[in-house]
Chain A
Amino acid sequence: MSVFTAIDEDRELDEEDFTPGIEPQATWCPGCGDFGVLKALKGAMVELGRDPDETLLVTGIGCSGKLSSYFESYGFHSIHGRSLPVARAAKLANPGLEVVAAGGDGDGYGIGGNHFVHTARENHDMTYVVFNNEIFGLTKGQTSPTSPKGHKSKTQPHGSAKDPIRPLSLSLTGGASYIARTAAVNPNQAQEILVEAIEHDGFSHVDFLTQCPTWNKDAKQYVPYVDIQKNEEYEFDITDRREAGEAMYEAESALYDGTVLTGRFYHDETRPSYHEEKQSVGELPEQPLAEQYFDPDREWERSLELVENHT
């Protein structure tokens, strides 16, 4: 007896399948970039033919973290900064799941920065979408790790003395094998990138520029963006770490000067995912763990066999 019957591949899905019919209206502010992520994610799921029952969306805390409330699938709305360890362990326990984690820049690059680097390093086969609005939204407009230097907020009334974090470079250094940046104001590119990111076997990091009209009116996410894949000036080899690193560095520096560079920055299809690595050292079972418990015929080894070592 199987716990998980195969998903019906021929099923016709549309965005409605990912829209919960019963919960209250989204509590995001009008004009919030988060709507753009939601729409792009639904579109990507439909395009990929994923089913809500085979998808696990794990979110952190923040306006961004509410994504799981407005998206129909298995969801886990965890705690601030901790979505990644929850998500990657769920994926290890059941590799058949399509696992997507999402959170904000405070959530993912601040409090969860350690998990971000390590999940990238291990190259878990999952997608991580970071809503980068350069501000703490839910707690009402404090400076975030991506806020520009000099940014004034209630907690940095004299202006931030810190350089913003470089999420793309950090991700590359960490070891992510797919890295892209897109923006809520560009729904088509956003969906394309999410499709690619989800399909990629390994850790995909999407830095998703989202506008926060309520707390961060100055953010550059409003200005026209440049799609680096469509502009010859920015030509580089996205499979080459060095070239990718240079492109990221440029994009990260330019962002605060008003040039928003989006697109794919790095794509390494050769690096084995953590699942493959772990399986190769004999540390990952073939069968999802949950299958084991539902299998009444399974022989369970007993500790009694180990106790012999102690006599």
Chain B
Amino acid sequence: MTAQELVWRIAGGSGDGIDSTSQNFAKALLRSGLDVFTHRHYPSRIRGGHTYVEVRARPEPVRSRGDGYNFLLVLGDSFARNKREGTIYGDERVKPLTENLDELREGGVVVYDTGMLDEELVAATDLEERAEANDWHVYPVDLQAIAREHGRDVMRNTAGVGVTAALIEKDLDHFERLLEERMSGDVLEANRAVLRDAYEQAEAFEFGHDLRVPSGDHEEEQALLSGSHAIAYGALDEGCRFISGYPMTPWTEVFTLLSKHLPERGGIAEQVEDEIAAVAAAIGASHAGAKAMSGSSGGGFALMSEALGLAEITETPLVLVESMRAGPSTGMPTKPEQSDLDLVLYTSQGDSNRVVFAPSNTREAYEQTRDAFELAYEYHLPALVIYDQKLSGELRNVPVSFFDQEPSPGLPNTLTEDALDAEPTDGRFHRYRHEDEEASTGVSRRSIPGQRGGHYLASGNEHHPTGHLSEDPENRVAQVDRRAAKLDAIRERVDGGPASHQTYFGPETAEYGIVTWGSQQGTVREAVARLNEEGHSVRGVGVSDLAPFPVTEMTEFLESVESALVVEMSESAQFRGLVQRELGAYGDRLDSLLKYNGDPFEPREIAEAFRASVEDHEFDSSTTTFVPATSD
């Protein structure tokens, strides 16, 4: 039987080129007409340590990492080597092989490098038994020798790709072309020779498996991008021209991308001394008329808390991104989790207003970053994009034409000098006017420092319309109400309005619901499709508007189903807490599926939990949670 899909896992030590090899492999499959999706798993180490990347490919759209995988390429061991002394740290000789077997599907393929992995050591593992029990097809190949013969040791990964191509019966065209694009001269020739030799050697094997991946056909040109690329590009298209930051994984991906591209486009990128300076700088730049953004991950974002409130009360437009990883504290730097939700929603003191979007995939990351800029600059408030390590690094194909969108620079609700002339004034410009027509949307138009006739005081203390400190009770109430009115105006746009960011999937009249947010949406979507195929009646919703929260939409959804499972990567069910807090009811209809072991969900886990919830009535109280066995 021809496989429905290929899920190729390449494993080895970090620093072995796993990342770049998998990217190119994914690109080659993409160019052959398939849809692709990558999932990165790596330890918090620079060299050595076990790491893998999965590339899932099939002719239909791919929305998640899938369940397990069916092709394992073990590129090396997971030692860190000191080249000069040949020193080896730790005892990880066969780890990339043994560590990865649990999720290999029945009938799967294993290729390992006998040049790197000692055959005797491999024989001492339970590989053979397990292969027999699971109908795995194991192909030991001396990739190192092939690499050495035509070039250098490091070309082992090219050899691995060559072997893979033969075993999945894809011709070498796309792989060769990618080599040509990346290299030239002797290096290209050597790699080409390695690729071909490995291909030919593997072709000569007697195949016990069938992993011919069906070929696909894209109607239009596709590009392979991660969530971080999409956020950076969305920001560029909105005219973002200032970024300030301090490195922290995984936020660094957005920060480095814009550090490269902003100066090339007449913008400014600043690596500053800490996250407090980063957010303060973005506020300063935005105040001075630049479209600005900053961001961080958990700990760094926590440091931004106070300044977030400063942006809120001074009504300075600001875009912040929070790229979640497992916490608390430094937690697990390279593993995803969704447990910074409460931090992002509620951090900073006082009654404050902010917009929060949670994109679930590359396209949404682009769109919602643009929307965050649009709202921040139209309403003069902070808009946050929260996503996680999974979305930040996963590559997915999107048609190039998707990015063919008009840029939208410009500073809405900002006065020109001529318009400022016409403003009522008694010495200073009334930046924080709360009378008359502005009350409807709450927005009071601003001037930019340097403009004639526009000076005012932007103060973090409560202030009069001119910005002067004021504790006058009437003015206080008027200012608080006006700032809150902005959120009401935005709520109308997003909650069931034209700019709703929720995604629904499954039949509208379904009996049961599954609710999720952010990066887990694609996985839930796949599980919902599967459950409906099985005969269940399920509808899913991926929520992206976190603030203002889509109360109307969610009420409608929960009223349409008997009960719903809330799926999220956190132990304390923060998202479910948000739903219940915002709706003030429906807690009795909700069950939680939580995972917090550092690995995102697989569709099968969600389907299983759903079956347990619905069929076995394992959940009947609002507080029961179900933790799949894999999340130890």
Contact = CB atoms under 8 A, between A and B. Distances in A.
Given A3-B417, A76-B458, A300-B239, A292 B310 contact: no
Contact of B280 (A86, A290, A303): A86
A215 interface: no
B256 to A, nearest CB: 14
Contacts of A73: 455
B61 interface: no
B416 A1 contact: yes
A91 B267 CA distance: 14
A72 B284 contact: no
B411 interface: yes
Contacts of A300: 239, 407, 409
B272 interface: yes
Interface in A261-311: 278, 282-285, 287-290, 292-294, 298, 300-304, 306-308, 310-311
A61 B285 CA distance: 20
B468 A20 contact: yes
A72 B427 CA distance: 9
Given A72-B427, A283-B269, A307-B223, A52 B455 contact: yes
B287 A289 contact: no
Given A79-B310, A293-B291, A53 B453 contact: yes
Contacts of A282: 263
Contact of B268 (A79, A97, A289, A303): A289
A4 B447 CA distance: 11
A69 B467 CA distance: 8
B457 interface: yes
B19 to A, nearest CB: 15
Given A289-B268, A304-B403, A118 B287 contact: no
A162 B321 CA distance: 40
Interface in B509-554: none
Contacts of A5: 417, 452
Given A92-B285, A304-B400, A115 B451 contact: no
A90 interface: yes
Interface in B233-271: 233-234, 236-237, 239, 241-242, 244, 261, 263, 265-270
The range of chain A's interface size is 35 or more
Contacts of B292: 89, 93
A85 B241 contact: no
Contact of A293 (B239, B274, B306, B458): B239
Contacts of B468: 20, 22-24, 69
B6 interface: no
A158 to B, nearest CB: 31
Contacts of A3: 289, 416-417, 448, 450-451
A240 to B, nearest CB: 28
A220 interface: no
B450 A88 contact: no
Given A76-B314, A115-B273, A303-B403, A94 B306 contact: no
A188 interface: no
Nearest to A283: B263
A84 B273 CA distance: 12
A82 B307 contact: yes
Contacts of A288: 288-289, 450
A75 B236 CA distance: 29
A246 interface: no
Contacts of A69: 457, 459, 468-469
Contacts of A52: 455
Contact of B450 (A58, A84, A94): A94
Interface residues of B, number: 78
A222 interface: no
A28 to B, nearest CB: 13
Nearest to B244: A89
Given A292-B266, A307-B225, A68 B457 contact: yes
A31 interface: no
Nearest to A281: B263
A102 interface: no
A193 interface: no
A54 interface: yes
Nearest to B411: A293
Contacts of A241: none
Interface string B390-426: 0000000000100111010111001011000000001
A1 to B, nearest CB: 7
Interface string B275-309: 01110111111011111100000000000001100
Contact of B261 (A117, A292, A306): A306
Interface in A17-68: 20-24, 52-54, 56, 58, 61, 66, 68
B149 interface: no
A77 B451 contact: no
Contacts of B65: none
A87 interface: yes
Contact of B288 (A89, A114, A294, A311): A89
Contacts of B455: 52-53, 72-75
A99 B440 CA distance: 35
B134 interface: no
A85 B449 contact: no
Contact of B284 (A93, A298, A304): A93
A118 B273 contact: yes
Given A73-B455, A290-B450, A56 B288 contact: yes
Contacts of B414: 293
A96 B224 CA distance: 41
Contacts of B237: 302-303
A78 interface: yes
B316 to A, nearest CB: 9
A20 B284 contact: no
Nearest to B278: A85
A90 B287 contact: yes
A165 B8 CA distance: 60
A126 B251 CA distance: 30
B277 A301 contact: no
B460 interface: yes
B411 A290 contact: yes
A115 B284 CA distance: 14
Interface string B194-223: 000000000000000000000000000111
A53 B289 contact: no
Given A54-B450, A90-B284, A310 B229 contact: yes
A306 B416 contact: no
B576 to A, nearest CB: 34
Given A53-B454, A292-B266, A86 B427 contact: no
Contacts of B306: 79
Contacts of A311: 221-224, 400
A247 to B, nearest CB: 28
Q: Which of B224, B267, B460 counts the most A-chain CB atoms under 10 A from its CB? A: B460
A262 to B, nearest CB: 30
B428 interface: yes
Nearest to B458: A76
23 contacts: A23-B464, A68-B457, A68-B459, A69-B457, A78-B280, A85-B280, A89-B244, A89-B284, A89-B288, A90-B449, A93-B285, A93-B292, A94-B450, A114-B277, A288-B288, A289-B268, A289-B290, A289-B291, A294-B411, A302-B403, A302-B405, A304-B400, A304-B405
Given A61-B460, A86-B287, 4 more contacts: A56-B449, A78-B310, A94-B450, A288-B450
Interface of A: 1, 3-5, 7, 20-24, 52-54, 56, 58, 61, 66, 68-69, 72-79, 82, 84-94, 96-97, 114-115, 117-118, 278, 282-285, 287-290, 292-294, 298, 300-304, 306-308, 310-311
Interface of B: 221-225, 229, 232-234, 236-237, 239, 241-242, 244, 261, 263, 265-270, 272-274, 276-278, 280-285, 287-292, 306-307, 310, 314, 400, 403-405, 407, 409-411, 414, 416-417, 426-428, 448-461, 464, 466-469
Q: Which 5 residue pairs of A and B lie closest in terms of their CB atoms, listed nearest first?
A: A290-B289, A303-B233, A89-B284, A86-B284, A89-B281
